[in-house]
Amino acid sequence: MTVDAVVFDFDYTLTVPDRPRQEVLDEATDAVGAPRLSREAYLDAHSRHLDSDTRVPIFAELLPEDADIDPEALADAYREKVADSLVAVAGVPGLLAALGEEYRLGLLTNGPADAQRSKLDRFDWVEEFDAIAITGNLDAGKPDERAFRAILDALGVDPDEAVYVGDDPDADVHGAQAAGMYAVHVVYEGGPDPVPDADAVVERDALADELPDIVARL
């Protein structure tokens, strides 16, 4: 079956923070006078609220009961700090423009709707996507098949006509394959090991140069 669509993850695939996310989280808690929270605890809570509109439930869960801090204020501060920290991976605008001449392009990203949208709004190249799905607007997040089905339906393609490109072994690679899609694992220094059963593996720094040929070979 010919590949007709390429669907991307967003965080750590197309964009990266310019400083450690723990530092960004610390900046947000300091801004509102909240106790510092660990990145690990944040990610754990985040995984339970992938279909939320905002990060408010995440911080409501993490803040101590006796903390006199509004979770919404902390969510707003963190949204601003995260968005300000993001930079595009080298070559992404040109990569999307080139792929868009041959394929339908989609974006499927895990996270609260307002938080993810604030990130997307910082980059003009987001306009290259034919469809965008944020799990905060869906019934489930990656790796649930329903999340992948949502973006496939929006693009009007079948699973075996699409390839998913992402960095997370479970949410992106295994999730996409379970949904019937091809999966390309994006790897980088300090990230997860390459997934042996991924359909292809590409270094993030080489994404713009190598992905078009990888997709063409699938």
Q: Residue 112: its pLDDT value, please?
A: 87
HSE-up of residue 212 (Cα within 13 Å, Cβ side): 14
The residue-averaged pLDDT of 58-63 equals 95
Work out the burial of residue 32: count CB atoms within 10 Å of its CB; fewer than 13 is exposed, 13-18 middle, 19 or more buried.
Answer: middle
Name the token pair of 165: 């490109």
- Where a domain ends, among 85, 109, 132? 85
One domain, residues 156 and 194: yes
pLDDT in tens, 163-173: 999 999 999 99
One domain, residues 107 and 198: yes
One domain, residues 60 and 143: no
Q: What does the DSSP assignment read for 44-72?
A: HHHTT-TT-SSSHHHHHHHS-TT----HH
Q: Residue 115: its pLDDT value, please?
A: 86
One domain, residues 105 and 211: yes
Which among 119, 114, 135, 115 has a CA at the least distance from the CA of 47? 135
pLDDT-derived band of residue 2, with 50, 70 and 90 as boundaries? confident
One domain, residues 207 and 159: yes
Which among 127, 156, 134 has a CA at the least distance from the CA of 11? 134
One domain, residues 26 and 98: no
pLDDT in tens, 14-56: 999 999 999 999 999 999 999 999 999 999 999 998 888 889 9
One domain, residues 197 and 112: yes
One domain, residues 75 and 25: yes
Confidence (pTM): 0.88
Q: What is the mean pLDDT of the chain?
A: 95
Q: Residue 145: its pLDDT value, please?
A: 97
One domain, residues 25 and 9: no
pLDDT of residue 134 exceeding 90, the answer is yes
pLDDT-derived band of residue 1, with 50, 70 and 90 as boundaries? low
CATH number for the domain that contains residue 148: 3.40.50.1000
One domain, residues 34 and 124: no
- Where a domain ends, among 51, 85, 119? 85
Q: Give the structural domain span for 119.
A: 5-16+87-217
Q: How far is the C-alpha of 215 from the C-alpha of 55, rounded, in Å? A: 34
pLDDT in tens, 78-127: 999 998 999 999 999 999 999 999 999 999 999 888 889 999 999 999 99
